[in-house]
Chain A
Amino acid sequence: MIQVCFEHTFVGWRDAARRLVRSAVSPENVVWASDKQDILFEGEHVNGVVVDSPKIPPGFIELAESAACFDDHAKWDLMYRLLYRQVFENGNLLAIESDPDVCRLRLMAKAVRRDIHKFHAFVRFRRVECDNEEIFVAWHEPRHFTVEMATPFFARRFGSMNFSILTPKGCAHWDRCDLTFSPGVERSRAPSSDETEDFWLLYYRSIFNPLRLKTNAMKKELPVRHWPTLPEAVLIPELIRAAREKD
C-alpha cells in the first residue's frame, strides 16, 4: 500500500499521478491521503521507472481538470484508476462512455460544468461605493470547487467594472486589471441590498404567467438550494399561492 500525500488541486494530483503511473503502481495499491501536504510517498517503496513517458490520450486532461473540482475526495482515486487503465489496459477507454469508471468521471465533470454554468447564471451583483469608487459585490454558494474556473467569465464580461464574488469556497476579485483569489468568507461580508433590486423583483413578478404554473419545471433548473442567494426567489411562494387561488 502506498499512502500519497499531495496538494489537493489538479496540478498536485497530476504530479503525483505522473510519478505513480511511470512506475506502474496499480490503483489498488494507492491511498490518496485526505490531509493536504506536499507530495510524499509513504509505505512500500515505489518501483523504478517502468514507462518513461506514458501516453495520455487526448481529452483526458481536460476531463480530469473539471472532475478535480468535484466536491468528493473519491475523485482522486477514480482519476488515477482511469489514467492507469488508459495507459496499461486500453488507450481508447474514454471513448467507451458506458464503462462504469468512465461514466462516473464524466458525470463528475458534467456536474462541475453545470455548477460553473449555474455560477455564471446565479451570481447577483450589488453595487456599493467605496472611497468614491463603484464596486459590485456578489454572494454565491457553488456546490463544487468552481471559483477559479467560473470567474474568468465575469472578468471578460464585466472587465470595465470593479467586482468581488464572495463564496464559502473561495473569493474572486477583479480590479479592472487582474483577477485574484482569496479564501472563502461568510455571507455577512457581502452587502445586503441594491437600489436596482426593486425593479428586478417587479420585472420577475410581471413576466411570470400565472396561467401556466409549472413549479417542477422551475425547480429542476432553479434548484431550491440556490434560492437563498437569489433576491427574486423571495417572491416564489407568494406567486405560486396567488396563481393557485386564481385557477
Chain B
Amino acid sequence: MDLKRKLAILADAAKYDASCASSGSHRKREVKGIGNTEGMGICHSYTPDGRCISLLKLLLTNVCIWDCSYCINRRSSAVARARFKPEEVVRLTIDFYKRNYIEGLFLSSGIIQSADYTMEQLVLVAKTLRERERFGGYIHLKAVPGASKDLLFEAGKYADRLSANIEMPVQKDLDALAPEKTLREIEDTMADVKAGIDTAKDMAKRDGSTPHFARAGQSTQLVVGASESSDTVILSKAEALYNRFKLRRVYYSAFSPATHTDPALQNKPKTPPMREHRLYEADWLIRNYGFAAHEVTDGLDGGNLDLEKDPKLAWAIRHRHLFPVDVNRASKSLLLRIPGLGVRNVQRIVSIRRFHRIKLGDLARLNVTLSRAKWFVVTADHNPDVFRLDRTNFPDLFKPRAVQPSLFEPFTSAISAITGEL
C-alpha cells in the first residue's frame, strides 16, 4: 500500500481522539537537532469542524484485537485497515515539522498482538525521533492500558504527554460496550504514569535539573452518550481522576453513530454537540474556578447539565441567595462565581480596586459579559438590574428569547439600551 493511502486511512482513524494540546512542555533544541517546545502550544491550522491542528495525529495501525462498540476501529468493524512502518511516521513527522505545519506528533494505535507489543511499537517511533533525528518538538503517545511499567517509563522518557483513555465513567458501561477493558487496568496504567512523573520530579528537585518525563503530564478521554451514564456520573469521575492521578485534562467526545457503527449502537441518537460543550464548561469550572463537581451537578434535572444555559449561570440561579456580590469588596473566590466573569477579569478587578472604585462602565471596558453578570453584581454606581434577582420569575430571564414572556419585552429592551447587551 502506498504511503498516501496509509496516511488517509490512519489520519481518518485518529480523529476521534480529541486532544491536540501541545502546551506545557519545555525543551531546547539540540545543537544539530530540529525543533523545540517553549511552553505555549501553537495551533497551526483549523479544519471546518472548528478543531485545531497542532500535532500530526496518527494511528500506527487501525487493526485492533479489541471490540469496543463505540469505536470505529473495533475488530468487527468493516473499515479499511492499514499499518505504518515506524520509519514512515518518523519521516512524515520531520517533513511536516520542517515546514512548520505542526508542533509535533500524537501517536496512538489499535491493539495488535498484545498491550506490550503495541506499546513497544509506539515507543520505537518516539525513540527514533528523539535519538536519531534529534527531534525536539512535542510528542504525545498513547499509554496502552495494561502495558508494562518498564515500557511506560521508557515512553515517558521520550514523550511530552501520555494518555490512557478511560472511555467510560463506570465499569458497568465498559462491561456493556467494551467488554475487554476494565477501569482497574486503565487506572493502573494512569497510576504508573503518575509514578513516573513524580519520580522524575523528585530526582530533578534533588539535582536541580529539569525533569524529563512527560513534562506536559497525562490526559484521558471518555465517550459521552454511548452509555446511559449522566453528566453527574461523568463529572464526578472526572474530578476523581483529576485528584487521584493529577491529570492535566479530561477530554469528552460526543458519540455519534456513523457508517461503521456497531449494530448495538446504531439506533442510539446522536449526542447533542451542546452536551459535550457543557461538559467542557463544567470541567473548566472544576479545574479553574474552585467548583466541586457536586456543586455543578446538585439539583440537576435527570442528573444532566442544562443544555440551554452554561453551568455557571445555572449554578448562580440555583444559589441566588449568595448574590448580589459587591465587586469592590468580595473575595476572589466569590468573584469567580459570578456568571460572565472569567479568571483573568477576576484578577484584573482585584488589581483595579486597590486604586479605583469599579463601576458598570469599568466592567464593560474589561469585556465582562454583562448580559449575564449584570444581574448578579453590585458596583460603585447604580445597577438597576440587580433588583430583579429577588423576583420569583428571575429564572425566566434566561430562557431562550422565543419563549420569554412578552410582559418583559419593553423592560428588557430598555435595559439593553443602557448596556448595549442582552
Interface residues in chain A, defined as those with a beta carbon under 8 Å from any beta carbon in chain B: 90, 92, 95-100, 103, 117, 120-127, 136, 138, 153-154, 156-161, 194, 196-200, 202-218, 221-222, 230, 232, 236, 239-240, 243
Contact = CB atoms under 8 A, between A and B. Distances in A.
B48 A122 contact: no
Given A98-B363, A123-B100, A157-B35, 15 more contacts: A95-B351, A97-B351, A117-B40, A156-B29, A159-B29, A160-B31, A161-B98, A198-B4, A199-B7, A203-B96, A204-B47, A213-B48, A217-B50, A218-B46, A240-B48
B11 interface: yes
Contacts of A218: 46-50
Contact of B42 (A121, A159, A200, A239): A121
Contacts of A99: 356
A117 B255 CA distance: 33
Given A98-B358, A207-B15, A230 B99 contact: no
23 contacts: A92-B354, A98-B363, A121-B43, A122-B45, A138-B100, A156-B29, A157-B29, A161-B34, A196-B95, A199-B95, A200-B99, A202-B8, A203-B7, A204-B53, A205-B8, A206-B8, A208-B48, A208-B49, A211-B256, A212-B50, A215-B48, A216-B50, A222-B45
A3 to B, nearest CB: 32
Contacts of B355: 90, 92, 95-96
A204 B354 contact: no
A202 B319 CA distance: 51
A221 B46 contact: yes
B365 A213 contact: no
Nearest to A123: B100
A209 B101 contact: no
B101 A124 contact: yes
A232 B47 CA distance: 9
Interface of B: 3-4, 7-9, 11-12, 14-15, 29, 31-36, 38, 40, 42-53, 56-57, 92, 95-96, 98-101, 254, 256, 258, 273, 348, 351-352, 354-356, 358, 361-363, 365-366
Contacts of A136: 98-99
B239 to A, nearest CB: 26
Contacts of A204: 45, 47, 53
For B40, B48, B95, B96, which residue has the most chain A Cβ atoms within 10 angstroms?
B48
Contacts of A127: 98-99
B365 A124 contact: no
B48 A243 contact: yes
Contacts of B38: 153, 156
Contacts of A121: 42-45
A239 B363 CA distance: 41
Contacts of B100: 123-125, 138, 154, 158
Nearest to A122: B44
B234 to A, nearest CB: 19
A95 B352 contact: yes
Contacts of A221: 43, 46, 50, 52
B36 A156 contact: yes
A195 B4 CA distance: 13
A193 B374 CA distance: 53
A179 to B, nearest CB: 15
B99 A239 contact: no
A97 B352 contact: yes
B99 A124 contact: yes
Contact of B45 (A103, A211, A232, A243): A232
Contact of B33 (A124, A160, A194): A160
A207 B48 contact: no
B362 to A, nearest CB: 4
A44 to B, nearest CB: 34
A151 B53 CA distance: 21
A158 B92 contact: no
For A103, A204, A243, which residue has the most chain B Cβ atoms within 10 angstroms?
A204
Contacts of B43: 121, 221
A98 B98 contact: no
A222 B51 CA distance: 10
A234 B130 CA distance: 33
Given A161-B34, A207-B53, A196 B99 contact: yes
